[in-house]
Every structure is written in structure tokens, then in C-alpha cells.
Amino acid sequence: MDQNRMDFDIGADKLREECGVFGMYDFDGNDVARAIYYGLFALQHRGQESCGIAVSDTEGPKGKVAAHKGMGLCNEVFTPEALESLKGNIGVGHVRYSTAGSSTRENAQPLVLNYVKGTLGLAHNGNLVNAPELRHELEYTGAIFQTTIDSEVIAYHIARARIHTPNVESAVAAAMKKLKGAYSLVIMSPRKLIGARDPMGFKPLCIGKDRDNAYILASETCALETIGAEFVRDVEPGEIVTITADGISSDKEMCLADPSGEARCIFEYIYFARPDSVFDGVSVYKARIQAGRFLAVDSPVEADLVVGVPESGNAAALGYAMESGIPYGTAFVKNSYVGRTFIKPKQSSRESAVRIKLNVLKEAVAEKRVIMIDDSIVRGTTSALIVKMLRDAGAREVHVRISAPPFLHPCYFGTDIPSEDQLIAHGRTVDEVREIIGADTLSFLRQERLSQMASERPVCTACFTGNYPMEPPSQDIRGSYEK
């Protein structure tokens, strides 16, 4: 990735989620593009690299799909004229940050396929671990790929299965039997909207209903609330739901899930999801509050002030303050108007880039012992800079508390945790990491607290433990990442 393109969050040391998906079917025939646009806006935190919308008219000619996608944020890609051109009462949308596949317009989603049975529009969140094998299988039978993403592999397998199955949902079920890894899918056929979630439930996917007679599929509940829809339920791990003019249905015989094998991504609770979302019945905000409380119980320290690194550290900081009795305060001012591609200062220093996005309130921290709560430490560069900024602002002590355990292993399921040699905690003690980032003390969330903060839901903790819920790929297929 171009080193002049900075992550939408603070510093280049933050993790990125691969993407967010949104689909809508309006039974009254109203155009859905504008509602999908607002839904994607609510999911913008899940991907700032590219976005797209594809729509169709269920009463119109089969195979006619209008689509618009491009590189950039939603408000950059979708002009009023572009939205006005997207006519149709069924559609899917996508926001993306790449983990597998390069950063190009060709890799933007949704993908639209024309094939012998009609058309498919597909939006995918997640990462397959067996994508190379599936891709090679297709290539050796004549398939020609237009992208480098595993989402196209999924779309091809659904299209091929559809030739031998009675309907699209059966084709999705047949394809799912071949897929290994993380995937939440929203699929549009000429007359149906389909949602599917992998058997382990890595990524979130929920169902909503608009009061104006429309059904919605979305990565997070916050997107439903943005368009005024009500939450119906989560799509279950391994489930396929089908929305037609007759309503919504689920064929449980096609479900592939084994509850004992579920493995939700713990980082949805820690960092990725918006705090106002609910993931599989667990409030993200409450989970982060709980993580902060656990840190206060397990890693107490005498201090004058508890502060969070915006935005995902704020709720955990509040939980720490509530449990410890130490006052909660605001130490950082975040520049909300810095987009994803701002130009770095001439010296190209990461410190200058962080300072453009984040500043310290000197009056809040001067002469105080500060507990700084953040969601994670990846490479450590940003953490070190923020600790230095607090000291430069006059903080007497800086105690860092992290609402996740140390990262020790890469992720292959849609999170861009880098290889082990780039992880600051790999091969180092906590005290060695503390010394590198310049903190007075450093503590991480204990691993046994993870399932507790997720209300005992089964979660994937492989990035901390190395215990992958399925066999990882023999080679790293996740593409290149900003270093």
C-alpha cells in the first residue's frame, strides 16, 4: 500500500477489518440505493479503501443490474448523480479494506456476474483459507478471473453450483460445503436477496426490517438503526436466509453449523464493531466496559486520571475508571476531518502524521499520573508516540493498559494482523515491550477474560494463543500490508 495513504484511524499501527456488507429488498418497489448508501456510511469504519452498490428491479427484466463502485469513502464515490442512476428495489452494498488481494478498483465490491442462469451480485466480508486451491480448481476448468480477491472464487462456485441445483439458495449451500474460512455473504439474484454466514460465525451478519415493508441484511446493527430499521435477529453461524416477495425463510437443513465449533472474532468486541452495535446478542459497548473493569481488577495502579485513546479505547477506559474509582477524563482531541489519504508532512515522519490526527490536552494531563487505555498494540510505533505525547504534555507518569492480550500470531480470517516478526510482543516479555513504548507500567487483558467479556460466547483467540479453529493455510495468502 502507498505509504502516503494513512489509515482512517489513528496511526498506521492500527488493525483493519476487511469490509462491511449491506443488502436490502423493498417489497413495495421503492428504490433502495439511497438507503444502502446510508447503511454503508454507518459501516464505513469497517473499510475505507473502496465501496460499491449494485441494484436490480425485481419486476424488471432479469439480468439487468445497475452498479457503481470506486476507490475512496462513500461520500467520495457516490455523488447525487451516481445514486440517482441506481434504480431498483433490491440491492447489495460493500465497503472494503484489503487483506487478500491488492488495492485496485477491480477488487472493489459488490461483484456482479452474468452467467447462464442470470445474474449474481455478491458482497463478502471475511477471508478464505483455501482460496488458492479453489481458484486453481476453477482456472484449470477454464475460468478467467477479473480480480485477485477470494470473493470472486465464492461467486464462481455459487454460479457453477446453480447450474445443477433447483434455486440460488441451494447453490449457495453447495458452494459453502467447499469454502473454508471466514465469510458473511449478501447475495442478490434477480428475484431474491440471500444472506449466509460461515459455520463458525467468524463475522457478524444480522437481519433487519424497515417499517416501510423492506428487509435488510447488514454486518452490524448500527447500520439498521441508521436507516430507521428494526433489528430482527442475527443470521446464525452456518445459516442461509432467503428473502423473496413472499417474505423471509431459512432452510435449517442447509445449515452447516456445529455450536461446539463456533469461533466469533473477538476483535469485533474489542475494536472493529461500532460501540452502538450488538453482535450475537452481546452489546459491543458493554463488552468494552467489561474489558476495562477486568483491567482495573487484574492490573491496578495508583493514578490521578484514566483516559482512552479514541475511539475504541474510550469505553474500556470508562470501565476501568468505574471499577477503580479513579476519575475518567479526556486527554486527546481527535481531528475528525482528516480523511484516509491526507498528505504527510515533507519529513514523512509517522510522529507528524499521528500529531495531525491526535493532539493532547495539556491542561488535562499536566503533573498527573495517567492511565492510558488502548485496544491493542501491534507494532508498537503508534503506542510509543502517544506515550511520548503525554509526557511532552507534562504527564508525570504514564501507565498503559491494553484491552486485549498481546498479539503473538497472524490472523488468516479477515484481520490484517501481520506476520510474527512484525508483532512487537512476539518473542518479547511484557517488560521489554513496556520499555520500547516508554511507559512506566504496561499490562494486557488476561486471555481467560476474553470469553467473559463476550458473555461466554465461543470466540476465536488464535491471534493471541496460536490455537486456530481450523487448519491455517500452508502459505501466507493475505497480500501485502502497510508496514
Catalytic annotation present for 411: no
Neighbours of 23 (CB within 10 A): 29
C-alpha cell at 32: 433502495
H-assigned helices in 282-380: 284-298, 313-324, 350-357, 362-365
DSSP letter string, 107-176: G-S-EEEEETTEEEEEEEEEEESSHHHHHHHHHTTT---S-SSHHHHHHHHHHHHHTTSSSHHHHHHHHH
H-assigned helices in 400-459: 430-437, 450-453
Judge whether 169 and 154 are in contact, CB under 8 Å: no
**First-residue to last-residue Cα distance in the chain:** 9
The answer to whether the peptide bond before residue 110 is cis (omega within 30 degrees of 0) is yes
The answer to whether the peptide bond before residue 311 is cis (omega within 30 degrees of 0) is yes
Please pick, among 19, 74, 206, 222, the residue that the annotation labels catalytic. Answer: 19
User: Nearest 5°: phi and psi at 93?
Assistant: -135, 165
126 contact partners, CB below 8 Å, separation of at least 6: 18, 181, 182, 183, 184, 198, 202, 203, 413, 414
Q: Which residues are catalytic?
A: 19
